[in-house]
C-alpha cells in the first residue's frame, strides 16, 4: 500500500508506478463546485478523466485498468498509520460519499494506492 504524497496546490501532477506501469496522476480542485477531481494517464493516453474524489469507494473499481485500487482514507481514523494493513484500510475508508475539502486532501484525507495483490488479500480476509 502506498500513500500518495499530495501537495497543497489546486492543480497537481504526480508520476507513480502501478502494477508495473507508469501512470501520471492529475489532481485538480474545482473552486466553483468545491470538489477534487482525479485523472489518470498511461502511455500518453488519458484513461480516466475528471472523476470526483469521494470517500468510501475504490476509485478504479468501475474500470478494468488492472492497476489495483485508489481510495481516500480519513487519517483521523485511528490505526492506519501504525498498522499499515490493507485489510484495515479497506475496512475503514471513511464516510461514503463525503468529499474531501480544499485543505483536507493530503493532510487529513490521504490518497492511497493498493496493488491488485493487496486488494485481493483484503477482499479475501
pLDDT 10s digits, 53-112: 998 889 999 999 999 999 988 877 655 445 544 444 444 455 566 788 888 888 888 899
The whole-number pLDDT of residue 51 equals 95
Residue with the larger pLDDT of the pair 92 and 45: 45
User: What is the grid cell recorded at 61?
Assistant: 473499481
User: What is the grid cell recorded at 34?
Assistant: 468545491
Tell me how many domains the chain contains: 1
**Within 10 A of 6 (CB to CB), how many other CB atoms are there?**
18
- Residue-number span of the structural domain to which 53 is assigned: 2-124
**Within 10 A of 40 (CB to CB), how many other CB atoms are there?**
22
- Phi then psi dihedrals of residue 8, to 5 deg: -105, -5
Predicted model pTM: 0.82
Amino acid at each position: 500500500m502506498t500513500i500518495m504524497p499530495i501537495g497543497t496546490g489546486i492543480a497537481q501532477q504526480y508520476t507513480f508506478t502501478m502494477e508495473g506501469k507508469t501512470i501520471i496522476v492529475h489532481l485538480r480542485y474545482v473552486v466553483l463546485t468545491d470538489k477534487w477531481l482525479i485523472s489518470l494517464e498511461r502511455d500518453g493516453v488519458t484513461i480516466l478523466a475528471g472523476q470526483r474524489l469521494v470517500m468510501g469507494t475504490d476509485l478504479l473499481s468501475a474500470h478494468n485498468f488492472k492497476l489495483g485500487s485508489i481510495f481516500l482514507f480519513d487519517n483521523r481514523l485511528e490505526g492506519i498509520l501504525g498498522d499499515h494493513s490493507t485489510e484495515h484500510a479497506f475496512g475503514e475508508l471513511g464516510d461514503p460519499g463525503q468529499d474531501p475539502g480544499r485543505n483536507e486532501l493530503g493532510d487529513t484525507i490521504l490518497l492511497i494506492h493498493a496493488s491488485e495483490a493487496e486488494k485481493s488479500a483484503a477482499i479475501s480476509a
